[in-house]
Structure 1
Amino acid sequence: MHDTTPTQQPTETNRIYGGLVSARGLDLDQFESIQTQVHAWTTEAGTGVKFVETRGLPIVDIVLRFKAGTVQDTAHTGLAALTLYMLDEGSQQYTATQQAENLERLGAIVEKQIRLEHATLSLRSLSTQAVLGQALAVFTDLVARPAFPTSALDKIKPQLLQSSASRERHPVLRARSEAFRHLFSGHPYGSPLGNTEQGVTAVTTDDLRTFHQRAYSASNLEMVVVGDLSLAEAQTLSRQISEALPQGWLATDLPTVPAPTRATLHVEQPGASSAVLLALPLNVPANDPQFPALLLASDVLGKGLESRLMVELRQRRGLTYGVHTHVLPLRAGGLFTTEWEVAPAHVQGSQELVVALLRDFIEQGPTPAELRVARKQLEGQLLRSVAQNKRLAALLTEFTHHRQPEDHLNTYIERINRLTPADVRTAMQRHLDLSYTVQVSVGPSVEQQPLPAPHQ
């Protein structure tokens, strides 16, 4: 017996994904819709909580995100970072060594991270009550009742300054810092490292205690819980953490960002290549209806080997190993950036080429084929995140921080699939203005050369 099903010819999108075509004519690009039940509540102490019950593995992930980022440094620059890094240096109940030994014995993992707008701590533990109860007790004590010993502060201060100095020597990170300093001059966002030597040196343990009592308040916290728990167990857990924290303080909204100005900046630094960054101000919150269209635009431009910029800069001209675009939404502003590394002699030429490609893309928009590939990339990223507890917890934390609606996770794929090339073009033309382009290069100054001719 012979299969008489007509053979489906590979489309452009199929070729990009390796030419996988169903022998039965099925659309292998179709994804199932997401149906994740997210429970939400607010504790009596004012903590907003999101919870997803997953029973596949005996694991619980807890994420605490405080509005305690570097933008809250009102006394000394570096205070927010030092406060976070001092939390696991001993509490009123345990020494730092005891904290570490208890967590290791339980197989629990605590991680922490400082950013402009928030400080985040997370706990991953087995869900069995004997283990989770003990791990949660150590974690809660660490976050809520730190001792802030002077000896530990004296140790961490030089470590923080060394880390910041290392970031400033990294060409790509230095380029990002310079873009922030220019676009957000005079605003809390304008200090991307979050510390200075003068500020870090001046911080005392009393400063840490004062900052902790405010910024690590229960009402200044967003909590996400994902894992092998019932709703009642998650509610009890969130209440225990919330009640243990300081009470009654909430970070105020940040001031409006300054009006953008165009600039071309260069930082002299030796090296075999130059890091180049192009930044555009993007004052669009992540919960804006047009934000998904801007994410799709970013994917078409600079995500993957078949993106427009990668094809032009790498495949056709051999200028770089990689070029990437990013959309960075912030509470009071944001950025649309393009980053690449290139031979120092081709900095100016590559900048002009990228600006020309951006201008054409903003004017013309993506093709239907490009948009289809970008949709599948975003859908795949979301589905991979939903399939793993830790990544789902991180995803829900981001959605909560950006004040996304309750149904955002389950309706996201449907909404991006409704977007057309015209929708993406309209969003770019409304929100991306090349007259405010900030271009930054970090590397050696050399005589500029014409770009190589493109390969056909």
Structure 2
Amino acid sequence: MTDSTSIAPPAVTANLSSAEGIDLSQFEQVRTEVQAWQTSHGTQVRFVEAHQLPMVDLIVRFNAGTSVDGEHSGLAALTMYMLDEGTERLNAEQFAEQTERLGAILSTQIRLEHASLSLRCLSSEVVLAQAVALFTEMLARPAFDAQQLVKVKQQLRAFQSSRYNAAPTRAQSELFSRLYAGHPYAAPLGSTEQGIQALTAQDLRDFHQRAYSANNLQVSIVGDLSRAQAEALVEQLAEALPQGWAAAELPPVSPTSAASAHVPTPAANNTLLLAVPMSGRPSQADYPALVLAADVLGSGFDSRLMQELRQRRGLTYHISCRPSPLKAGGVLAIGWDCAAQYREASRELVAGMLEALVNEGPTNAELELSRRQLSGQLVRSVATNSGLVELLSKGSHQGLPADHLVTYQAQLSAVSARSARQALQEHLDLSRMVTVSLGSDQPQQPLPPLPHSDR
């Protein structure tokens, strides 16, 4: 063996300094200045000036998600997907050609509580003006052409079928149907084949005139423009939209009983979701404690669930825990896959670990590790315009103050083991736990014995 002490250091490292003494756990503090205002039309706006790149990122979010479908399943989704299929002035092909000519990127997203559409384009005066005009035309004056509607219906039916056949989304659908029985949240996929088929172009026009109104809108902007330019952009958009309507508040979620269900499918492994109702809201002071506790339980390689189910027992490749703070009643959900014969045993293990966390709370060491992870995620997100505009849109939807990004790290630092335990016990209802599983139905077995070194 060569004596390493006799080898001279490579020249390329000669000028490097020692990393000793550097605290890698300390992240740069977020100092993003968010400007917020409300237009005369009732539109809520959040804006960050970012002149490092000649780009503008814009997200518009309407309270027009699938939970406001009412008796017309698929209404919200089909309306949103038809917006970029032509306007009163341009057919679908012409609209796509103009978008491509400007180099603009458009994207859409439909969720239970909102419909979001985004625009990314260069910030040069000519390109930005044309891109915003085209985006405004799409939002305010869609054609809802009957022929295009036939095509989009076929696409939406195929998309929904593929989602339903995918184990994670099928499991979520089964879970929500039980956890939110009788509530608009009970159908997270948002569309049925019969509902889509029954909708007409006039149904979409009527819904658009209500839900896509200026006072039902939140706008988030990050980019290379001034406050005056941002105000003019939003005013142009809001002025063109329908006026004077906003979606009614959803009814509160009625309490449901604990339940456990298995849905047989051909899949060899089982996909499981375990969830409990969560009353905490992002605008509440103790919500960061819930986020940290969920991270301790099941977010990242060092979380309790990953250590127990993957590292020690080899039951799954991945398991995650995520709080979803829906406005009418949120949920804390845990999802994983496992071999079919360990379905019930793994469910009991996960339920027990959740109960232990609620009863005992996390340790200070676990909280510190999760604080580092969440702070790092935040710093990485605000470092890009696309990540930052997503955070602005999410914060606006959740009713968080404009300075939330600046204060969030301090809020995480203020969480103690005691306050985390109190938040868990205050906001989670373990008596209403719901579990669903999908996959082959095999005789159940106890968990395999732990390796000798882990006993």
- Would you say same fold, with TM above 0.5? yes
67-76 or 319-328: which moved more?
67-76
The alpha-carbon deviation at position 310 of structure 1 amounts to: 0.5
Q: How does 1:304-319 map to 2 (within 5 A)?
A: 304-319=300-315
Q: What's the counterpart of residue 364 of structure 1? A: 360
> In percent, how many aligned pairs have the same letter?
52
Q: Is the 8 A contact 1:71 1:116 kept in 2?
A: yes
Whole-angstrom CA distance in 1 between matches of 2:111 and 2:356: 34
Q: Is the 8 A contact 1:91 1:146 kept in 2?
A: yes
Q: What's the counterpart of residue 135 of structure 1? A: 131
Q: What's the counterpart of residue 118 of structure 1? A: 114
With normalisation by structure 2, the TM-score equals 0.94
Q: What's the counterpart of residue 401 of structure 2? A: 405
Q: What's the counterpart of residue 219 of structure 2? A: 223
Q: Aligned to 1:293, which of 278, 289, 292?
A: 289
2:386 aligned with 1:390: yes
Q: Aligned to 1:303, which of 299, 306, 322?
A: 299
2:26 aligned with 1:30: yes
Whole-angstrom CA distance in 1 between matches of 2:321 and 2:387: 22
Q: Is the 8 A contact 1:53 1:227 kept in 2?
A: yes
Whole-angstrom CA distance in 1 between matches of 2:36 and 2:333: 34
Q: Deviations over 1:206-235 (max 9, x none)?
A: 101000000000110000111000010000
Whole-angstrom CA distance in 2 between matches of 1:117 and 1:169: 23
Q: Deviations over 1:18-39 (max 9, x none)?
A: xxxx744232211222111111
Q: What's the counterpart of residue 193 of structure 1? A: 189
Letter of the 2:27 partner, please give it: F
Q: Aligned to 1:214, which of 210, 213, 231?
A: 210
Q: What's the counterpart of residue 5 of structure 1? A: none
The alpha-carbon deviation at position 166 of structure 1 amounts to: 1.5
Whole-angstrom CA distance in 1 between matches of 2:186 and 2:19: 55
- Match of 2:197, SS state, is helix
Whole-angstrom CA distance in 2 between matches of 1:189 and 1:435: 20
Figure out how many residues of one structure are paired with residues of the other and give that number. Answer: 436
Query: Structure 1: 5+ residue runs without aligned partners?
Result: 1-21
Whole-angstrom CA distance in 2 between matches of 1:80 and 1:277: 26
Q: What's the counterpart of residue 442 of structure 1? A: 438
Q: How does 1:225-244 map to 2 (within 5 A)?
A: 225-244=221-240
The alpha-carbon deviation at position 408 of structure 1 amounts to: 1.2
Query: Structure 2: 5+ residue runs without aligned partners?
Result: 1-17
Q: What's the counterpart of residue 426 of structure 2? A: 430
- Match of 2:253, SS state, is coil
- Match of 1:179, SS state, is helix
The alpha-carbon deviation at position 185 of structure 1 amounts to: 1.0
Q: Deviations over 1:378-435 (max 9, x none)?
A: 1111111111111110101010001012221110001101111111111111122322
Whole-angstrom CA distance in 1 between matches of 2:316 and 2:246: 45
67-76 or 77-86: which moved more?
67-76
154-163 or 434-443: which moved more?
154-163
The alpha-carbon deviation at position 174 of structure 1 amounts to: 1.0
Aligned-residue Cα RMSD (Å) equals 1.2
- Match of 2:119, SS state, is strand
Whole-angstrom CA distance in 2 between matches of 1:110 and 1:406: 25
Q: Is the 8 A contact 2:221 2:389 kept in 1?
A: yes
Whole-angstrom CA distance in 2 between matches of 1:427 and 1:396: 25
- Match of 2:375, SS state, is helix
Q: What's the counterpart of residue 16 of structure 1? A: none
The alpha-carbon deviation at position 454 of structure 1 amounts to: 2.0
Q: Is the 8 A contact 2:33 2:403 kept in 1?
A: no
- Match of 1:288, SS state, is coil
Q: How does 1:40-119 map to 2 (within 5 A)?
A: 40-119=36-115
213-222 or 353-362: which moved more?
353-362
The alpha-carbon deviation at position 49 of structure 1 amounts to: 0.7
- Match of 2:323, SS state, is strand
Q: Deviations over 1:224-282 (max 9, x none)?
A: 11100001000000100110111111111110101131000111101121101101011
Letter of the 1:253 partner, please give it: E
The alpha-carbon deviation at position 158 of structure 1 amounts to: 2.1
Whole-angstrom CA distance in 2 between matches of 1:172 and 1:296: 24
The alpha-carbon deviation at position 75 of structure 1 amounts to: 4.2
- Match of 2:59, SS state, is strand
Q: Is the 8 A contact 1:183 1:258 kept in 2?
A: no
Q: Is the 8 A contact 1:260 1:281 kept in 2?
A: no
Q: What's the counterpart of residue 250 of structure 2? A: 254
Flag as ranges the 4+ runs of structure 1 deviating above 3 A: none
Q: Is the 8 A contact 2:121 2:128 kept in 1?
A: yes
Q: What's the counterpart of residue 4 of structure 1? A: none
When residues 360 and 205 of structure 1 are mapped into structure 2, their CA distance, relative to the original with a 3 A threshold, is same
Q: What's the counterpart of residue 13 of structure 1? A: none
Letter of the 1:46 partner, please give it: G
Whole-angstrom CA distance in 2 between matches of 1:448 and 1:24: 52
- Match of 2:58, SS state, is strand
Q: What's the counterpart of residue 415 of structure 2? A: 419
Q: Is the 8 A contact 1:275 1:342 kept in 2?
A: yes
Whole-angstrom CA distance in 2 between matches of 1:39 and 1:361: 38
Letter of the 2:83 partner, please give it: L
Q: Deviations over 1:426-455 (max 9, x none)?
A: 111112232211010001110111211123
Whole-angstrom CA distance in 2 between matches of 1:195 and 1:117: 14
Q: What's the counterpart of residue 7 of structure 2? A: none
Letter of the 1:417 partner, please give it: S
Q: Is the 8 A contact 2:46 2:402 kept in 1?
A: no
The alpha-carbon deviation at position 143 of structure 1 amounts to: 0.9
